[in-house]
Amino acid sequence: TTGGTDTYDITQRRSTAEIIDGVRTPIWGYDGILPGPTLVTRRGRRTVVRHRNELPVPTVVHLHGGHNAPRHDGYPTDQILPTSGAHHGPHHGDGDLSRGTRSYTYDTDQRAATLWYHDHRMDFTGPSVWRGLAGLHLITDDEERALPFPDGDRDLPLVIMDRSFDQDGGLRYPSVDADLTATPGVTSPYEAGVLGDVILVNGTAWPYREVDAVRHRLRLLNASNARRYRLRLDPAPDGVDEPLVQVASDGGLLARPLTHPYVDLASAERQEVVVDFSRYRVGQRVRLVNDFGEGPTRQVMEFRIARRAKDESHVPSELSVIEPLDAGRAVRERDMVFRSEAIGDRHGWTINGEPFSVDHIHAAPRLGDTEIWNLYADFHHPIHLHLVHFQVLGRGTKKPGRFDHGWKDTLDLRPTEQARIITRFDGHRGKYVFHCHNLEHEDMMMMGNFEVR
Ligand code: C2O
Ligand code: CU
Ligand code: CU
């Protein structure tokens, strides 16, 4: 089951998608679809993805959650120029420019997990992802496949994103949402990031799906630029307070399942839950709702319970082994402060007072070092590190939060909060970014470099 290479070809191009019934919306899509094609690869097999850029702008492909060499990680200036040759835009820093096509090689030497790929071009990640450049990349391994989880069409990846539309059905960026201006301390709506008022699941606005009355695995990905969700089944099954059985997070399986009444997802976070639809009546409609939304952004999708069926799946009480990283082994601690600051005569989002620059290195861990990072925030910032997964040691003086278990690559840092994470910088030397995954904050410079030496 190890060795070998899987090769995929993806063309980034303009096309249209039927997001809203009967309306053709122009998008930029991987293979012209939204979300892009789902890649499924096995641990131990190398994956080569050849991207061809037929879009009018340069692009960068990043595999979010991937443990890859720097030149295959999608550094923000490491661009694929358009095939058309029409672009003569500026070129930032030390980017390695390639015209038209580029192959990314992923070793896939990492645990089974729900990863995703998306555009990462410097200063333009927000608008490019908004136009459609995002897709799933699932990694499987023997450990995960041996578990009796629901599979086949009972394993449902749900890519959740919000968008706004203009009169003609085009995507509108940026847009303003009522709850933005209501955020205390936020003076301009745009500062909270771009929010849409239509919720898409797998590229369709407020879809429904017929499901058998059996267990399903839901792989929830928040692919929104800036919106946070609190997801729950409505109604909850009779007599069950915590119907969402979480089995995995960003970095794959948890050690043991956790039950929740709802799950919170900040931008880029993944949570996988098993839900048991046999607790509902045939014909019943069960909504997935977002308690952080209002009006249209409250509704996410609907499940329609179609028929009874045989179900041999279950969730074992032990899923995997996760060795806790030992804080006593950390060779250093660093503070990373994520906040808004004046930069010259304008304002920007910074890390330790520095707006993103390709030359400023915030941290230079040695290969193999274990480090503790103390993350501080002035506002909501989902913090993401490339290359590594981390464990959460605590939030302020408290224990890790309800959704902080297992291996994470993105952590929802709440206003004025501090979180303590621990990670080992392993596998590759080189320069990687870490950043706020509110894509408008990222584009407005809330990104830094760490260089593994
Ligand atoms: Cu999901 Cu640096 O990105
Ligand atoms: Cu990433
Ligand atoms: Cu942010």
Task: Looking at the structure, tell me whether residues 158 and 301 fall in a common domain.
Answer: yes
pLDDT band of residue 296 (cuts 50, 70, 90) is very high
317 within domain boundaries: no
Q: Is residue 313 part of a domain?
A: no
258 and 206 within one domain:
yes
Q: Give domain status of residue 17, yes or no.
A: yes
Are residues 161 and 57 part of one domain?
no
98 shares its domain with 186: no
Of the residues 305, 340, 356, the one at which a domain ends:
305
Cα(185) to ligand 1 centroid in Å equals 26
Locate the ligand 1 atom nearest the alpha carbon of residue 65 and give its number: 1
Distance between Cα 439 and ligand 3 center (Å): 8
CA of 438 to the centre of ligand 1 (A): 10
Give the per-residue pLDDT at 344.
73
Q: Above 50 in pLDDT, residue 179? A: no
If you take atom 3 of ligand 1, which residue's CA is the nearest one? 64
Q: Which residues surround ligand 3, an ion (CB under 5 A)?
A: 381, 436, 438, 441
| Average pLDDT of the segment spanning 220-239 | 97
- What is the pLDDT at residue 190? 61
Q: Is residue 312, in this structure, part of any structural domain at all?
A: no
- Report the alpha-carbon angle 200-252-264, nearest 5: 45
Can you tell me the distance from the alpha carbon of 390 to that of 413, in angstroms, rounded to the nearest whole number? Answer: 14
pLDDT tens for each residue of 33-69: 999 999 999 999 999 999 999 999 999 999 999 999 9
Q: For residue 268, which atom of ligand 1 is closest to its CA? A: 1
pLDDT of residue 97: 63
**Token pair for residue 47?**
């994956």
C-alpha 137 to ligand 3 mean position (Å): 24
Q: Where does the pLDDT of residue 177 fall: very low under 50, low under 70, confident under 90, or very high at 90 and above?
A: very low
* Domain co-membership, 429 together with 295: no
> In the predicted model, is pLDDT for residue 182 greater than 50?
no
- Give the ligand 1 atom nearest the CA of 447: 2
Comparing 91 with 235, which gets the higher pLDDT?
235
pLDDT at residue 175 in the model: 45
How many domains does the chain divide into? Answer: 3
Lowest mean pLDDT across 109-123, 179-193, 378-392, 410-424: 179-193
With bands split at pLDDT 50, 70 and 90, how would you rate the model's confidence at 99?
A: confident
Q: Are residues 285 and 335 in the same domain?
A: no
Query: How high is the pLDDT of residue 56?
Result: 95
What is the C-alpha separation between 191 and 201, in angstroms, rounded? 25
Would 292 be classed as within a structural domain? yes
Ligand 3 center–CA 195 separation, angstroms = 13
Report the pLDDT averaged over residues 375-379: 94
**Domain's final residue, options 305, 336, 368:** 305
The answer to whether residue 316 sits within a structural domain is: no
Residue-level pLDDT at 63: 98
Together in a domain, 195 and 285: yes
Whether 176 has a pLDDT exceeding 80, the answer reads no
pLDDT of residue 394: 97
- At 91 the three-state DSSP class reads coil
One-character DSSP codes across 171-223: B-SS---HHHHTSTT--SGGGG----SEEEETTEES-EEEE-SSEEEEEEEE-
Structural domain boundaries, residue 402: 327-452
**Same domain for 296 and 389:** no
pLDDT of 331 > 60? The answer is yes
The amino acid at 170: G
Instruction: State pLDDT tens for residues 379-436.
Output: 999 999 999 999 999 999 999 999 999 999 999 999 989 999 999 999 999 999 999 9
The reply to whether 87 and 12 lie within a common domain is yes
113 and 160 in a single domain? The answer is: no
The predicted pLDDT at position 387 comes to 98
- What pLDDT is recorded for position 221? 99
pLDDT band at 342 (very low <50, low <70, confident <90, very high): confident
Which pLDDT score, from 0 to 100, does residue 96 have?
54
Does 60 fall in a domain?
Answer: yes
Pocket of ligand 1 (CB under 6 A): 62, 64, 118, 120, 268, 384, 386, 433, 435, 437
ipTM for this model: 0.99
Q: What pLDDT is recorded for position 341?
A: 85
Q: What is the pLDDT of residue 92?
A: 47
User: 300 and 200 in one domain?
Assistant: yes
Which one of 270, 305, 340 terminates a domain?
A: 305
Which residue has its alpha carbon closest to ligand 1 atom 1? 64
For residue 364, CA distances in Å to 334, 381, 433, 453 come to 11, 23, 12, 6
- Judged by its nearest atom, the ligand closest to the C-alpha of residue 379 is 3
Whether residue 118 has pLDDT greater than 70: yes
Domain assignment present for residue 356? The answer is yes
- Protein residues placing their CB within 5 Å of the ion ligand 2: 64, 386
pLDDT (0 to 100) of residue 348: 81
The pLDDT confidence band at residue 90, using thresholds 50, 70 and 90, is low
Point out the least confidently predicted range of 79-88, 96-105, 232-241, 332-341.
79-88
Mean pLDDT of 294-317: 97
Average pLDDT, rounded, for the chain: 93
Cis previous bond, 174, omega within 30: yes
- Average of per-residue pLDDT across 244-249: 98
Question: What CATH number is associated with residue 193?
Answer: 2.60.40.420
- Tell me, yes or no, whether 341 and 232 share the same domain: no
Of all residues in the chain, what percent carry a pLDDT higher than 70?
Answer: 92
CA of 223 to the centre of ligand 2 (A): 12
